[in-house]
Structures are given as structure tokens and as C-alpha cells.
A and B are shown apart, each in its own frame.
Chain A
Amino acid sequence: DAKTTQPPSMDCAEGRAANLPCNHSTISGNEYVYWYRQIHSQGPQYIIHGLKNNETNEMASLIITEDRKSSTLILPHATLRDTAVYYCIVRVVFGNEKLTFGTGTRLTIIP
């Protein structure tokens, strides 16, 4: 059963902010929201995670709505190297739950 819904593809102009949405309307109180990305023919790369507060690191910002039913990953100044498939995943951290990847959003950065 898919726990998250993402648009299959998005384009963003180079230098602009890329905003990637994710719906997770059935998220449980103890599930975190994770984002990974996979550049073509490479292994997935961890980006960021959060529970209910907004989070920011050197790669991106994660905005989680107050009801936690959706979130947005923001890449503030997209570059061509950000072209990748972005996966939004919800997962309980403690309890050995699997990291289950869906089909993600294919983000293309346009020069």
C-alpha cells in the first residue's frame, strides 16, 4: 500500500527554487517524513527528514503542514546537478520498519 503520493514529474528553471510536494494523508503520529533522491544510475542519496517541525540543512528545507498530511521539499537554488528522481517516504524510525521507496518525482532542471 502506497503511503505517499507524489507527482510523477516536474520541471524547474535553473537558479529558481524547486518545490516538490508529497501527500501522506494516512501518516501515523510516530512516522517520520524522509526525502531521498536518485541521480541517474547512482544509488539513492539521503536528503532530509522531519517529524512535525520544519527542517533545514545544507541541501534542502522540509516544510510539513500542521496536520502532517502533506509536506514540501524545497531546493532553494536548483542547479542542473539536482536533476534526479526524488522520493518521499514515511517511516517509523524505532521498530526496524523498512524504508519503502515508491515511484517518486522525476525533477528536471531546465538551463
Chain B
Amino acid sequence: ETGVTQTPRHLVMGMTNKKSLKCEQHLGHNAMYWYKQSAKKPLELMFVYNFKEQTENNSVPSRFSPECPNSSHLFLHLHTLQPEDSALYLCASSLGQSTYEQYFGPGTRLTVT
């Protein structure tokens, strides 16, 4: 238990669906992150939020839309995804964007059919 929770843990969606992934941290952190982990590939950073402001978008397609309403919650809105978007989506948080440790949630296993 890292203090970072993600829901749902598993999601199957069609290419025309719209769904959202949710991340919540109970650590009092100010920075939150979305990562993507595809099969047999390293983790890829997608987005970074620091004090609710997006500070990094790592050339992510617009079919992924992040939202950070407050420092404790982070969402990833998904629409018109492709099968190659199937992956493990991981949320992480850290005290600040420049601090040592990031704490990761368990991830959402997404399958796009």
C-alpha cells in the first residue's frame, strides 16, 4: 500500500467508447504523474502536474486528456482509443516535482478492443 490508489484496476473498452481513469493520493503530495507501460517496453512518462498545473506533456496524442482538479486527484480521460493503446497505465505522486521519490499506484490494465 503506497498511499496512491487507482480505479478501475482493469478496463476493457471499445475504440468508440469514452472512459476515465482515476488516481488519488493520500500523501499530501503536490506533483502527480501519468505513465504508460506497454508490453515489453520501458515505462513512458505521459503527463506531469505540479500544484494542479500541467508542467509536462510528453507528446501524448490528444485522445488522452488529463485533468487535475486538485493536488490529490488526477484523471486520464480516454476517447477513440486504438488497440495499440492497450497497456498498464500507472499514476504516481511525489512531494514536489524535484524531490527524490515517486510513489506509484497499482495501475489500470487497459485493453482496447
Hey, which bits of chain A sit against chain B, CB under 8 A? 32, 34, 41-46, 49, 93-96, 98-104
Contacts and interface: CB of A to CB of B under 8 A. Distances in A.
Contact of B102 (A32, A46, A96, A103): A46
Contacts of A34: 100
Nearest to A47: B101
Given A96-B97, A96-B98, A98-B56, A43 B105 contact: yes
Given A32-B100, A43-B2, A102 B42 contact: yes
**Interface size range of chain B in the complex:** 20 to 34
B45 A45 contact: no
Main secondary structure of the interface of A (DSSP, over half): loop
B66 interface: no
B4 A43 contact: yes
Nearest to A95: B98
A102 B42 CA distance: 5
A95 B56 CA distance: 13
B45 A46 contact: no
A45 B104 contact: yes
Interface string B101-113: 1111111010000
B88 interface: yes
A99 B99 contact: no
A96 B101 contact: no
A93 B4 contact: no
B42 A101 contact: yes
Interface in B54-113: 55-56, 88, 90-92, 97-107, 109
21 contacts: A41-B88, A43-B4, A43-B90, A43-B91, A43-B92, A43-B105, A43-B106, A43-B107, A44-B43, A44-B102, A44-B104, A46-B100, A46-B102, A49-B101, A93-B99, A96-B55, A96-B56, A98-B56, A99-B102, A103-B42, A104-B42
